[in-house]
Amino acid sequence: MSGERFLQGNEACAEGALAAGARFFAGYPITPSSEIGEILSRRLPRVGGKFIQMEDEMSSLAAVIGASLGGLKALTATSGPGFSLMQENLGFAAAAEIPCVIVEVQRAGPSTGQPTSPSQGDVMQARWGTHGDHPIIVLAPSSVREFFNLTVRAFNLSEKYRTPVIVLADEVIAHMREKIALPAPGEIEVFDRMKPTVPPEWYFPFDDTTEVPPLASFGQGYRFNVTGVYHDKAGFPTMRPDEIEPWFERIFAKIEHHLDDIVEVEREMMEDAEIALVAYGASARSARSAMHAAREKDLKVGLVKLKTLWPFAEAAIDRVARKVGRIIVPEMNRGQVRLEVERVVAGRARVLGVNRYDGEIISPAQILSAIEE
Amino acid sequence: MKQPMFQTIYPYLRTNKKFPNVWCPGCGNGIVLGSLIRAIDRVGLSKDETAMISGIGCSGRLPVYVDFNTLHTTHGRALGFATGLKMARPEMKVIVIMGDGDALGIGGNHFIHAARRNIGLTVIIVNNLIYGMTGGQYSPATPTDSFATTAPYGHIEQTFDIARLAEAAGAPFVARSTVFHVFELEKLMEKALTKKGFAVVEAISNCHTCYGRQNGMSTPVSMLKWMRENSVPISAKDSKGEGKITRGILVDRDLPEYTELYDQVIERARAAGAEGLR
Ligand SMILES: Cc1ncc(C[n+]2csc(CCOP(=O)(O)OP(=O)(O)O)c2C)c(N)n1
Ligand code: SF4
């Protein structure tokens, strides 16, 4: 459905999933993400895809992983409490290298929080929520159009690197409406996972001589084992350090060697900036308004908008640290990304947070007053 | 002439998998796996069209030894993974293997909902009456008054009756046998494999290491004898069945299968056209 349309963020996400080729959704309703499942329950069967409402979020992500192994591009959508329940299977997907997309529309927390109020409190949960070291990719949209784009991109990255990808949206972006022009199907770059071309007896689904081994679908003649247990290149459980280490190194390297492809930031008015705003999601919108207001007052303020939250944009922040004296990080949490910025800046510039965690969004005026301080 | 058992099993084993297996000598898991392979062989399923999915536990290690599409998942969640795979590939025969703790404790909610949906999965529950892998703590199937490492004064809870639970939840086929009654077990598995919909076989198995040792049956043989003496075929249920485990086909009925129903959803959605129903 291309052409100009007035869409809600969650609708744009569902359109993005379809455009990326998603053909399976499993999920459990939770505000402010429920529209994504509702829309896909209507749209997926029309293109021969499938939707199922599962009994909870644990089985939802499990079903998504199962469908992906069956060869379908698959996603789920949830919010913080449901995302907490998905964590074990998220780690499974990372360890077993099964492509899948998890859309998390953040709401205030902890616990049930304020169910319909916005928040950005799950940045660290998205990075470290599951147990054990693991690689992860997390994207954060700050407009309806970007929710569409980043959902497509989430599928592409997930297929390309055989890894789960999280789209970490927030209530503001999910429920706001904007007029956007959706690209025609042919205009969208869509990446499909690599399939093996070797005969089955030569196939190693976890081959350590390549960064991203091709993934056969179940039922296609390549019979192999998939497990969350440490495994060898054939997928069989192993306790041998000489087999575990190369596998562990590889699943990190396949991401870390491709940061240029994965980490995306947008820089605005940074050429002459003396103060930088580092922001993402809904807060990036307020930050942009604050930047323009500050420029009217002849204050040299620029914006670095993070579209990829994890892996963290170290190179981009390093550049900022060498350039400006002050960095302001507005977030609807107590400073989760600020911690990362401080780590990279390492004292080279002053890093300040503008934070809100009472269920209200950060206003441009709030950021402007931090700029003027 | 009847083939010796091992000749049937051998072609299904993974020659590239490093044996020996992880189980204690004499564990019932091997008998369950042997029965399942012979049932698969008799039904004539191809290896490529067969998937075997398990959860976590000693029983969760069954699939890795056999040459199918195999998936070893997280504790209790095998049915979720299987639901996704079955929906993506309805033409595949998807077999799910779970322990009693896996299926009824941590995965109990998934079990009743998968049964209610009647999604086409063949479900083998290896009921060894205990949490084996973690060392003998009580499970939802541990008999009242028996002992476990977490029931040192005797177990005070009621047990789940797997068959009645599955039936009430909506499963069209439910059967039960034991690893002592191995030929019966294998026939029931064969029936389950050919049944359309959510077909459950409860295989009562011996964990002499964890359950047996704590309950006066520390050898495989003593546990197999216990199975022989404490179970009756369903035909003898009324005459000799008092307090005993009934074996055989307990439920067999025809109900619409989920992935077939979903095909109708696809047809309806396509007929409704671009704007959908609403
Ligand atoms: C989420 C989670 N909780 C707990 C465990 C630990 N654990 C592993 S196996 C198991 C019990 C297995 O018992 P059962 O399902 O009856 O299988 P058995 O080992 O007896 O075959 C438990 C509790 C785990 N792996 N994951
Ligand atoms: S602990 Fe029990 S179930 Fe596990 S392998 Fe040993 S006998 Fe079998």
Task: Give the ligand 2 atom nearest the CA of B208.
Answer: 7
Binding site membership of B210 for ligand 2 (Cβ less than 6 Å): yes
Is B81's CB within 8 Å of A88's CB? no
Q: How far is A340 from chain B (nearest CA, A)?
A: 32
Within-domain flag for B153? yes
| Alpha carbon of B208: minimum distance to chain A alpha carbons (Å) | 25
Encoded amino acid at B209, one letter? T
> pLDDT category, B240, cuts 50, 70, 90?
confident
Using pLDDT thresholds of 50, 70 and 90, give the confidence band for residue A69.
very high
Q: What is the mean pLDDT of residues A279-296?
A: 98
In a domain, B123, yes or no: yes
Q: Chain A interface, mutation test: which of B89, B92, B93, B96, most A Cβ atoms within 10 Å?
A: B89
Cα-only R_g, chain B: 19
Distance (Å, whole) CA A31 – CA B82: 27
Q: Which of B83, B109, B113 sits opposite A66 (nearest CB)?
A: B83
Kindly determine whether residue A66 and residue B63, on different chains, have CB atoms separated by under 8 Å: no
- At B275 the pLDDT is 60
Q: What is the 3-state secondary structure (H, E, C) of chain A?
A: CCEEEEEEHHHHHHHHHHHHCEEEEEECCCCCCHHHHHHHHHHHHHHCCEEEECCCHHHHHHHHHHHHHCCCEEEEEECHHHHHHHHHHHHHHHHHCCCEEEEEEECCCCCCCCCCCCCCCCHHHHHHCCCCCCCCEEECCCCHHHHHHHHHHHHHHHHHHCCEEEEEEEHHHHHCEEEEEECCHHHCCCCCCCCCCCCHHHCCCCCCCCCCCCCCCCCCCCCCEEECCCECCCCCECCCHHHHHHHHHHHHHHHHCCHHHHCCEEEECCCCCCEEEEECHHHHHHHHHHHHHHHHCCCCEEEEEECEEECCCHHHHHHHHHHCCEEEEEECCCCHHHHHHHHHHCCCCEEEEEECCCCCCCCHHHHHHHHHC
Asked if residue B268 is part of any domain, the answer here is: yes
Interface of B with A in 35-74 (CB under 8 A): 47-49, 51, 53, 63-64, 67-74
Predicted pLDDT at B239: 81
Mean pLDDT score of chain A: 97
Confidence category of residue B3, pLDDT binned at 50, 70, 90: low
B58 lines ligand 1 (CB under 6 A): yes
Q: Whose CA is nearest to atom 2 of ligand 1?
A: B75
Protein residue closest via CA to atom 5 of ligand 1: B75
pLDDT at A202: 95
C-alpha distances in Å from residue A364, one per residue of A84, A104, A333:
31, 25, 16
User: Is residue B16 in a domain?
Assistant: no
User: Do the bridges between strand A50-53 and strand A73-78 make them parallel or antiparallel, or are there none, so unpaired?
Assistant: unpaired
**What average pLDDT does this structure show over B50-61?**
98
CB B43 within 8 A of CB B86: no
- The pLDDT > 90 percentage for chain A reads 97
C-alpha span between B88 and A72 (Å, rounded): 6
Cβ <8 Å between B71 and A62? no
**Closest residue on chain A to B50 (Cα):** A219
Count structural domains, chain B: 1
Record: contact A229-B53, CB cut-off 8 A = no
The residue nearest atom 25 of ligand 1, judged by CA position, is: B75
Asked whether residue B225 is domain-assigned, the answer is yes
**Max CA pair span of chain B:** 67
- Mean pLDDT computed over A202-224: 97
How close is the Cα of B129 to the center of ligand 2, in Å? 11
In this prediction the pTM is: 0.97
pLDDT at A281: 98
Tens digits of residue pLDDT in A92-149: 999 999 999 999 999 999 999 888 899 999 999 999 999 999 999 999 999 999 999 9
Q: Would the CB atoms of A42 and B265 count as touching at under 8 Å? A: no
Cβ within 8 Å of residue B268, ≥6 positions away:
A45, B277
Q: Is B17 part of a structural domain of the chain? A: no
- Is it the case that residue A334 has pLDDT exceeding 90? yes
Yes or no, beta carbons of A45 and B82 under 8 Å apart: no
B84 with A26: Cβ contact below 8 A: yes
Domains located in chain A, CATH noted: 3-187 (3.40.50.970), 266-372 (3.40.50.920)
For B:75-104, CB contacts with A below 8 A are: 76-89, 91-92
Q: How far is the CA of B147 from the centre of ligand 2 (A)?
A: 16
Residue B130 at interface with chain A, using a CB cutoff of 8 Å: no
Verify whether ligand 1 is closer than 6 Å to residue B100 (CB atom). Answer: yes
- The pLDDT tens digits for A231-278 are 999 999 999 999 999 999 999 999 999 999 999 999 999 999 999 999
Dihedral-angle region of residue A76 (phi above 0 means left; psi in -120 to 50 means alpha; beta otherwise): beta
How much of chain B, in percent, has pLDDT values that exceed 90?
A: 89
Q: Check A219 against B89: CB less than 8 A apart.
A: yes
Stretch B69-95: mean pLDDT: 98
Check residue B278 and give its pLDDT: 45
CB pair distance less than 8 Å for A62 and B53: no
Does residue A49 carry a pLDDT above 50?
yes
| Confidence check: pLDDT of A295 > 90 | yes
B74–A42: do the CB atoms touch at under 8 Å? no
Considering every ligand atom, which ligand is closest to the CA of B205? 2
> What was the pLDDT predicted at A142?
98
For range A55-84, the mean pLDDT: 98
Q: What is the model's pLDDT at position B1? A: 47
Nearest to B269 among A46, A52, A69 (CB): A46
Residue B214 Cβ inside 6 Å of ligand 2? The answer reads: no
Q: What angle do CA B140, B164, B254 make, to 5 degrees?
A: 135
Query: Cβ contact (<8 Å) for A72 and B18?
Result: no
Q: Considering only CB atoms, which chain A residues are within 8 Å of B74? A: 62, 88-89, 92, 228
Phi, psi of B230 (to 5 degrees): -110, 20
- The tens digit of pLDDT for each residue in B246-277 reads 999 999 999 999 999 999 999 999 999 766 44
Max CA pair span of chain A: 69
* Window from A150-154, B2-6, B30-34 with minimum mean pLDDT: B2-6
Chain A touched by B17 (CB under 8 Å): yes
Per-residue pLDDT tens over the stretch A17-48: 999 999 999 999 999 999 999 999 999 999 99
Residue nearest to atom 23 of ligand 1 (CA): B134
Q: How far is the CA of A344 from the centre of ligand 2 (A)?
A: 50
Residue B67 domain-assigned (yes or no): yes
Pocket test for ligand 2, best of B54, B142, B205, B210 (most atoms within 8 A of CB): B210
Q: Round to whole Å and give the CA distance between A337 and B257.
A: 48
Nearest CA in chain A to B278: A42
pLDDT grade, residue B15 (50/70/90)?
confident
For ligand 2, atom 1, the nearest C-alpha belongs to B132
For B255, the domain range is 24-272
pLDDT at B274: 65
The answer as to whether B92 is a domain residue is yes
Interface check B156 vs A, CB under 8 A: no
Q: Where residue B34 sits, what CATH number does that domain have?
A: 3.40.50.970
Element holding B53 (H helix, E strand):
strand B50-54
pLDDT for the residue B5: 64
Residues of B in contact with A46 (CB under 8 A): 266, 269-270, 272, 274, 276
Protein residue with its CA nearest to atom 12 in ligand 1: B57
How many residues belong to chain A?
Answer: 373
Q: What is d(CA A48, CA B262) in angstroms, rounded to the nearest whole number?
A: 10
CB A170 within 8 A of CB A119: yes
